[in-house]
A and B are shown apart, each in its own frame.
Chain A
Amino acid sequence: MRREVILTTRDLKAGYGGKPVLQGVDFTVRHGEIVAVIGRNGVGKSTLMKALIGLLPTNSGSILFNDAPIEALPASKRARLGIGYVPQGRDVFPRMTVEENLKVGVQIRGTAGPEDFERIYTAFPILKERRTQRAGTLSGGQQQQLAIGRVMISSPALVLLDEPSEGIQPSIVQDISRTIRAMNEATGVTIVFVEQNLDMIRATAQRCYVMDKGRIVAEIAAHDLDDRDAVRRYLAV
């Protein structure tokens, strides 16, 4: 089955101030896929995520979401079209409770019922336990779960995750990987994630794009992900 394309970039260029980081990124993601973007530090993976959600302006090139160009839209409009973003470092609202953080996530939908919160609390039971606690007091892993729950509660079509395993203990990394796959199976949500952790990539992704010097330089199919040496080779390009 050949699925519809949800996200395409064409010769996407973006950067900070006058310094270009993305030098022309071309890649395509289909509905319901789980795709990893890998590469060494500083090749532009996080920059790509920020350019896709709109926190960084596009200098040239285009981003198509469900065939419509979105590169000129502000981040809040892109979010309203159904793109969720989980940044590196999580960025939970530290002085708000877990529940209030989820409320911010669900507001795009206008009306939200208790069942929306229940859905997230079922996927992440720790969030239910801590729901009246300030998000700033949670551990790194709990904050990561909250950041994922905060975008999933609005039922987005596409979620961008920036290094979900960073700074999190291995057992929680496995939990997060399992939850991402379970949510993908249950709702068909498309996932694009940036990652350095090989275990996380192998356990979660169906295919990978390899980035180097601001471009996509290779694609690895799902079955090659089990070949650790091949993946390592790309990470050490």
Chain B
Amino acid sequence: MDALGAIFASLYQFGDAFAFLVLSACGLAIIFGMMGVINLAHGEFIMCGAYVTVMANRAGLPLPVAVLAGAVVAGAIGVLVERLVIRHLYARPLDTIVATWGISLIATQGTLIVLGSTMTGVGTPLGSFELAGNSYSTYRLVLMGSAVAVLVLLYLFFNKTRFGVLARATIQVPHMAEALGVDTRLIYAMTFGIGAGLAGLTGGLYAPTMTMVPTMGTTFIMEAFVTVVVGGADVFLGTAPAAAALAIVKASLTSWYGQLFGQIGLLIAVILVIRLLPRGVSGFLLRERA
């Protein structure tokens, strides 16, 4: 294997880990960062997106459309959950943890009862390509592109659109946004819906690479929480750099010592960050700027 091939292999591994961390975490980060709600049902929104994607695809929709359908359905369920449950708990943030955990259990068990313990998935599309003697999955490149696209679109959405500006205002000083005529209840419902929809998108994107089981959401949960804890409350200043840093840890440990050590490395990284930067990367960056 020549040097170029080795560099590509490392970049590919890094990109794959980065995409997984970003896509796992972004929905959770938005709901936590913008609303202060720790959504323990995050994994189940991912599972929901994956199931809807597979069912839509097997019903005849092309995969990209099926993935979007998964995101939309998860987002709609997110809005519903916010209206029925989360809305009543904004004054009691700790209770949202219990409530979303309950929703998570109901969703997992409900799916198990209704759809059974496994479901036939869809194959990974696009095949593979060879470079310097190694074989790579082309679809993983799509996932990397999607992660970057999600970050760029989220940035544009929250900074350039009217809704985004009002959402940031609501998050920073809720009572003042309300006093300026912003319908903050609508903003919260939409924000929760966007977070859930992003989780659904992640589920849809990864569905072709995974076994379809009701507990598949847990695959993403550890990475999602580690990234959000390391990143802190800001999606752009936190999640993206945290995912990049953690991807280096995970990709290098995984390629040298295997999957298990990649996971252990992530946990050690998060423990170090909690000790050194209690408010995460974005808390550190924001304090430095102010």
Chain A residues within 8 Å of B, Cβ to Cβ: 53-55, 74-76, 79-80, 84-85, 87, 91-96, 100-101, 103-105, 107-108, 134, 136-137, 150-151, 154
Q: Is the CB of A108 within 8 A of B165?
A: no
User: Is B91's CB within 8 Å of the partner chain A?
Assistant: no
In the bound complex, what is the Cα–Cα distance between A134 and B159 (angstroms)? Answer: 13
CB atoms of A108 and B181 under 8 A apart: yes
Q: Indicate if B169 sits at the interface (CB-CB under 8 A).
A: yes
Bound-complex Cα distance A107 to B180 (A): 9
A-B contact pairs, 13 of them (CB 8 A): A55-B175, A76-B181, A76-B182, A79-B178, A79-B181, A84-B180, A91-B176, A95-B168, A101-B169, A103-B165, A104-B169, A104-B180, A107-B166
Nearest-neighbor residue (CB-CB) of B175 within chain A: A55
- Whether B286 sits at the interface, judged by CB under 8 Å, is yes
Contacting A at CB under 8 A, from B161-200, are 162, 165-166, 168-169, 172-173, 175-184
**Secondary structure at chain B's binding surface: helix, strand, loop or mixed?**
helix
Task: Identify B172's interface contact among A93, A137, A150, CB under 8 A.
Answer: A93
Contact A136:B290 (CB < 8 A) given known A75-B179, A104-B177, A104-B180: yes
A95 with B286: CB separation less than 8 A: yes
Partner of A96, one of B172, B178, B181: B172
Cβ contacts under 8 Å, A107 to chain B:
162, 165-166, 180-182
Complex CA gap A137/B288 in Å reads 12
Known: A76-B178, A76-B182, A96-B172. 12 other contacts (CB 8 A): A93-B168, A93-B169, A100-B168, A101-B169, A104-B169, A104-B177, A104-B180, A136-B290, A137-B290, A150-B180, A154-B180, A154-B181
Q: Which residue of B lies closest to A150 (CB)?
A: B180
Report the number of A-B residue pairs with Cβ-Cβ less than 8 Å.
Answer: 74
**B175 — which chain A residues lie within 8 A by C-beta?**
55, 75, 91
Contact B168 A74 (CB under 8 A): no
Report the minimal beta-carbon distance from B189 to chain A, rounded to whole angstroms.
Answer: 14
Instruction: Return chain A residues, CB-CB under 8 Å to B162.
Output: 103, 107
Q: Which 7 A-B pairs have the closest CB atoms?
A: A79-B181, A108-B181, A91-B176, A104-B169, A85-B179, A93-B172, A75-B178
B168, B169, B176, B286: most-surrounded residue (chain A CB, <10 A):
B176
Question: How many angstroms between the C-alpha atoms of A54 and B180 in the bound complex?
Answer: 11
For residue B182, which residues in chain A have a CB less than 8 angstroms away from its CB?
76, 104, 107
Chain B neighbourhood of A84, CB < 8 A: 180
With A96-B165, A96-B168 as known contacts, state yes or no: A79 contacts B290, CB within 8 Å: no
Q: Known contacts A76-B184, A137-B290; decide if A96 and B169 are in contact (CB<8 Å).
A: yes
CA distance A29 to B2 in the complex (A): 83
| Among candidates A85, A91, A103, A154, residue contacting B173 with C-beta atoms closer than 8 Å | A91
Q: Is the CB of B179 within 8 A of A104?
A: no
Residues of A within 8 A of B181 (CB): 76, 79-80, 107-108, 154
Q: A104-B165, A136-B290 are known contacts. Are A95 and B172 too (CB-CB below 8 A)?
A: yes
Give the residue name and chain of the B residue nearest to A100 (CB): B165
Q: Is the CB of A87 within 8 A of B165?
A: no
Residues from chain A with a CB closer than 8 A to the CB of B172 are 93-96
